[in-house]
Structure 1
Amino acid sequence: MSFPNEFLWGSSISAFQAEGARLEDSRGLSVADLRSDEGRIRLDIADTSIAVDFYHKYKDDIKLMKECGLKSFRFSISWSRIFPQGNGRVNQKGVDYYNDLIDELILNDIAPIVTLMHFDLPQSLIEQYQGFLSRKCISDFVDYAKFCFEQFGDRVRYWLTINEQDVLTGIPFFNGLDSKKESAQADHHMNIANALVMKLYHDMGLNGKIGPCLSYPTRYPASLDPADQFLAMHLDDLSIFSRVDILMYGEYPKYFLNDLKNKDLMFTIEEGDEELLKGANPDFLAVNWYTSEVVGQYVDEESFGNYKGPDIPRKNRSEKGVAQYYKNPFTKYGSYEWNIDGIGLRYALRKIYSRYHLPLMITENGYSAKEEVKDGHVHDDERIEYLSNMITNMSLAIEDGVELFSYNPWSFIDILSSSQGMDKRYGLVFVDRTNHDCKDLQRIKKESFYWYQKCIQNNGNA
Structure 2
Amino acid sequence: MSANAFPPGFLFGAATSAYQIEGGWDADGKGPSIWDHFARLPGRIQRNHNGDVACNTYFDFATDIDIMRRLGLQAYRFSVAWARVLPLGRGAINEKGLDYYDRLVDALLAAGIKPFVTLFHWDLPLALQREMGGFDSRDCAAIFADYAEIVGRRLGDRVKQWITLNEPWVHATLGHLRGLHAPGRLNPWAYLRVIHHQLLGHGLAAAQLKGVHADAQVGISLNMGPVYPATDSEVDRAAAGLGDQFINRIFLDPLFRGQYPEPLWGRLRAFRPPVQPGDMETIAHPLDFVGINYYTRIHVRHAWYVPFVGFWPNDLPVVAGRVAPWRKNGYSQMGWEVYPAGLFELLFRMKQEYGNPAVYITENGAAFADTVSDDGRVHDPQRQQFLEQHTDMVSAAARAGVNVRGYFAWSLIDNFEWAYGYDKRFGIVYVDFATQRRIIKDSGYWYQSLIQGQAAGERSGAATEP
Give the aligned partner of residue 372 of structure 1.
371
**Pairwise CA distance, 1:441:** 1.0
Q: Which amino acid aligns with 1:346?
A: F
SS of the equivalent of 1:459 reads: helix
Work out which of the residue numbers 282, 289, 295 in structure 2 matches 1:284.
Answer: 289
Q: Which amino acid aligns with 1:349?
A: L
Report whether the alignment pairs 1:214 with 2:222.
yes
Compared with structure 1, are the counterparts of its residues 276 and 400 closer, same or farther at alpha carbon in structure 2 (3 Å cutoff)? Answer: closer
Work out which of the residue numbers 79, 89, 107 in structure 2 matches 1:104.
Answer: 107
Distance 1:339 1:461 in 2: 34
Give the aligned partner of residue 332 of structure 2.
334
Report whether the alignment pairs 1:431 with 2:431.
yes
Contact 1:169 1:180 in 2 (8 A): no
Distance 1:156 1:326 in 2: 47
Q: How does 1:188-337 map to 2 (within 5 A)?
A: 188-261=196-269, 264-270=270-276, 272-274=277-279, 277=282, 280-298=285-303, 313-314=317-318, 328-337=326-335
Q: Which amino acid aligns with 1:237?
A: Q
Distance 2:394 2:328 in 1: 20
Q: Which amino acid aligns with 2:317?
A: P
Q: Which amino acid aligns with 1:140?
A: I
Contact 1:353 1:360 in 2 (8 A): no
Contact 2:38 2:182 in 1 (8 A): no
**Pairwise CA distance, 1:289:** 0.2
Compared with structure 1, are the counterparts of its residues 327 and 65 closer, same or farther at alpha carbon in structure 2 (3 Å cutoff)? Answer: farther
Distance 2:295 2:288 in 1: 23
Q: How does 1:43-82 map to 2 (within 5 A)?
A: 43-82=46-85
Compared with structure 1, are the counterparts of its residues 38 and 461 closer, same or farther at alpha carbon in structure 2 (3 Å cutoff)? Answer: farther
Report whether the alignment pairs 1:25 with 2:28.
yes
Distance 1:195 1:301 in 2: 32
Contact 1:246 1:277 in 2 (8 A): no
Give the aligned partner of residue 457 of structure 1.
452
Give the aligned partner of residue 345 of structure 2.
347
Compared with structure 1, are the counterparts of its residues 96 and 395 closer, same or farther at alpha carbon in structure 2 (3 Å cutoff)? Answer: same
Distance 2:343 2:291 in 1: 13
Contact 2:36 2:50 in 1 (8 A): yes
**Pairwise CA distance, 1:250:** 2.9
Distance 1:247 1:81 in 2: 29
**Pairwise CA distance, 1:41:** 6.4
Q: Which amino acid aligns with 1:211?
A: G
Contact 2:249 2:261 in 1 (8 A): no
SS of the equivalent of 1:340 reads: coil
Compared with structure 1, are the counterparts of its residues 461 and 340 closer, same or farther at alpha carbon in structure 2 (3 Å cutoff)? Answer: farther
Contact 2:18 2:78 in 1 (8 A): yes
Give the aligned partner of residue 438 of structure 2.
443
Q: Which amino acid aligns with 1:443?
A: R
Report whether the alignment pairs 1:393 with 2:396.
no
Contact 2:119 2:165 in 1 (8 A): yes
Contact 1:455 1:461 in 2 (8 A): no
With 76-85 and 234-243 compared, the bigger mean Cα shift is at 234-243
Gapped runs of 5+ residues in structure 1? 316-324, 434-438
Contact 2:45 2:419 in 1 (8 A): no
**Pairwise CA distance, 1:227:** 2.3
Compared with structure 1, are the counterparts of its residues 419 and 220 closer, same or farther at alpha carbon in structure 2 (3 Å cutoff)? Answer: same
With 443-452 and 202-211 compared, the bigger mean Cα shift is at 202-211
**Pairwise CA distance, 1:26:** 0.6
Work out which of the residue numbers 12, 15, 18 in structure 1 matches 2:15.
Answer: 12
Gapped runs of 5+ residues in structure 2? 458-466
Compared with structure 1, are the counterparts of its residues 219 and 197 closer, same or farther at alpha carbon in structure 2 (3 Å cutoff)? Answer: same
Compared with structure 1, are the counterparts of its residues 163 and 67 closer, same or farther at alpha carbon in structure 2 (3 Å cutoff)? Answer: same
Q: Which amino acid aligns with 1:360?
A: V
Report whether the alignment pairs 1:164 with 2:163.
no
With 337-346 and 221-230 compared, the bigger mean Cα shift is at 221-230
Q: Which amino acid aligns with 2:377?
A: H
Distance 2:363 2:45 in 1: 27
Give the aligned partner of residue 319 of structure 1.
none
Contact 1:359 1:403 in 2 (8 A): yes
| TM-score, length basis structure 1 | 0.89
Give the aligned partner of residue 318 of structure 1.
none
Contact 2:204 2:282 in 1 (8 A): yes
Give the aligned partner of residue 322 of structure 1.
none
Distance 2:283 2:193 in 1: 18
Distance 1:408 1:204 in 2: 27
Distance 1:247 1:210 in 2: 13
Instruction: Give a deviation string over 1:296-321, Cα, whole Å, max 9, x none.
Output: 2238899x99x9x99x8249xxxxxx
Contact 1:313 1:326 in 2 (8 A): yes
**Pairwise CA distance, 1:178:** 4.1
Between the aligned residues of both structures, percent identity stands at 31
**Pairwise CA distance, 1:40:** 6.2
SS of the equivalent of 1:458 reads: helix
Distance 2:169 2:428 in 1: 27
With 185-194 and 405-414 compared, the bigger mean Cα shift is at 185-194
Q: Which amino acid aligns with 1:313?
A: P
The alignment yields a C-alpha RMSD, in angstroms, of 2.7
Compared with structure 1, are the counterparts of its residues 178 and 123 closer, same or farther at alpha carbon in structure 2 (3 Å cutoff)? Answer: farther
